[in-house]
A and B are shown apart, each in its own frame.
Chain A
């Protein structure tokens, strides 16, 4: 599945010569783990998401991986992936609800907002007496936004323990390595100091990642929000894209696409 999703990502961004392949490739294993192994999901799409687990993508620019996984999970036809970033498409550059794409519950892209949204949705689940969990993903560079820490403080204070937030810890952002652009410091210690239960995981080894997310689920319901500090490599799966910020928001050309696709097996059929 992950190999096919990576093919989808590369073909989508190549087709419109825009989009964000680096973070999408790095988080592919996370999305596959979440949608095919971890989350409890109902058939079809319920915008209110009652009696099922919810996921919110805060770093909306990695929309290609989400769209691919949503399509592969049956929320819409995989053929629709061909409309990504094109006029009159439901697959907007950054995720949106206005066009009614199944699987998306709120717009994201302007960074720093998703954790707040996830906290709110988690509290509604508690008010409704639902046992389900809320998942969220943020970028590590995104942690430079102050609103993230407002939400972090809030979640611990209000004991939102049905929430598992993941940080894509790839050490890269648009202008370069995070340590050069804006040092993140000791993220584990920071989240712990904010009152979160922190687990660390490897986001590019799917079996161990599934184990880590299962462990995170076992930690819910104990009075603390859960933070999954997930190490990934930006561009994972394509040798010339790995570990650099250069492919954050740049699409491959024809030759590069052919090279990249040669490294990824077509397991489920391209869209």
Chain B
């Protein structure tokens, strides 16, 4: 059984910044745009090294999405940077028409997703973005779990032709995936093998799932942990193979229950292999100000709540 440990915490947005900087060095077609949040998105390194390929847009996210769509015409690969809230809900129609429907090669890079944005409160804590983005035809939706994976995903999406939504966050979280990983879009990662229940987690909740697994093991429950970093396209085969073995499912994400990873897994199971399912997600509510840890506890999306969900779902087997 693989055990995960960490020696360092880092924010996933810094993984994005590092990945973007590396892309700047190796792919001359990559350009970056930002809506007045360079520091928050950790884009300084790219800008310093490639000033001619960076475009400050100011506080005008709708324009940024249109600009990015236009820049693809002639071969550029634009990476847009702003908070997840302003990368999705604020500009949904621009993304829908100019990027998704028009099949433009734009990478929408969204930081400060979810509750763990923290003290800024609910106006900025978007919990609906995965749902909005996964509903759009042609859109790929990725939510990596730590610094290394976010860096690898940032680099990988430049080689994928088509619109991508890349979601990451603000708080420092454990770095537990390899620095040299190859990121494969749409390929779920088996982190821990188990036989009683499968935990499908995405983003910051992957580490919480690992901690939950350790707690469950102490109680004699064998949990399988799978990192679903790509919510669309979903790795249906990996999901079904695991659930056929374990027969019970918990999903975990920093997102609304409506429209999130749990929704996608539930749809997959209902269509192909019905099994009891519990969802660890925010239940039809906005967030509020607080520290990330306080918010994850209050809104029920931490390791403790994953353990509770496993205990509930096992009773339904």
**What residues make up the interface of A, taking CB atoms closer than 8 Å to B?**
47-50, 54, 56, 96-98, 105-110, 112-125, 127-128, 130, 146-147, 150-151, 153-154, 157-158
Contact = CB atoms under 8 A, between A and B. Distances in A.
Interface string B32-62: 0000000000000000000011010110101
Contacts, number: 119
Contacts of B58: 150, 153-154, 157
A5 to B, nearest CB: 25
A223 to B, nearest CB: 17
A105 B303 CA distance: 48
A109 B97 contact: yes
A154 B60 contact: yes
A116 B71 contact: no
B229 interface: no
Contact of B97 (A108, A120, A121, A153): A108
A124 B75 contact: yes
Given A106-B69, A127-B53, A128-B75, A147 B97 contact: no
Given A97-B101, A124-B74, 17 more contacts: A47-B73, A50-B75, A98-B101, A106-B98, A113-B97, A116-B62, A120-B71, A120-B72, A121-B73, A122-B70, A123-B67, A124-B70, A147-B60, A150-B58, A151-B63, A154-B63, A154-B67
14 contacts: A50-B75, A107-B102, A114-B66, A116-B66, A117-B66, A117-B70, A120-B69, A120-B72, A120-B78, A123-B67, A147-B94, A154-B60, A154-B63, A157-B58
Nearest to A118: B70
A130 B73 CA distance: 13
B214 to A, nearest CB: 48
A105 B105 CA distance: 13
Interface of B: 31, 52-53, 55, 57-58, 60, 62-76, 78, 93-94, 96-98, 101-104
Contacts of B78: 120
Nearest to A123: B71
Contacts of A120: 66-73, 78
B57 A154 contact: yes
A127 B73 contact: no
Contacts of B60: 147, 150, 153-154
A39 to B, nearest CB: 15
B251 to A, nearest CB: 32
Contacts of B73: 47-49, 54, 105-106, 117, 120-121, 124
Q: Which 10 A-B pairs have the closest CB atoms?
A: A116-B66, A120-B70, A150-B63, A124-B74, A150-B60, A117-B70, A120-B67, A120-B71, A121-B70, A147-B62
B63 A116 contact: yes
Given A117-B67, A127-B52, A107 B62 contact: no
Given A121-B73, A124-B75, A116 B97 contact: no
Contact of B74 (A48, A115, A147, A151): A48
Contacts of B31: 127
A126 to B, nearest CB: 9
Most buried by A among B52, B63, B78: B63
B76 A124 contact: yes
A122 B104 CA distance: 16
A182 B62 CA distance: 22
A165 B11 CA distance: 42
Contacts of A154: 57-58, 60, 63, 67
A114 B63 CA distance: 10
A130 B93 CA distance: 31
Contacts of A124: 70-76
Contacts of B64: 116
A105 B53 CA distance: 22
Given A106-B69, A116-B70, A150-B63, A123 B98 contact: no
Contacts of A150: 58, 60, 62-63
Nearest to A96: B101
B74 A121 contact: yes
Contacts of A47: 73
A123 B63 CA distance: 14
Nearest to A121: B70
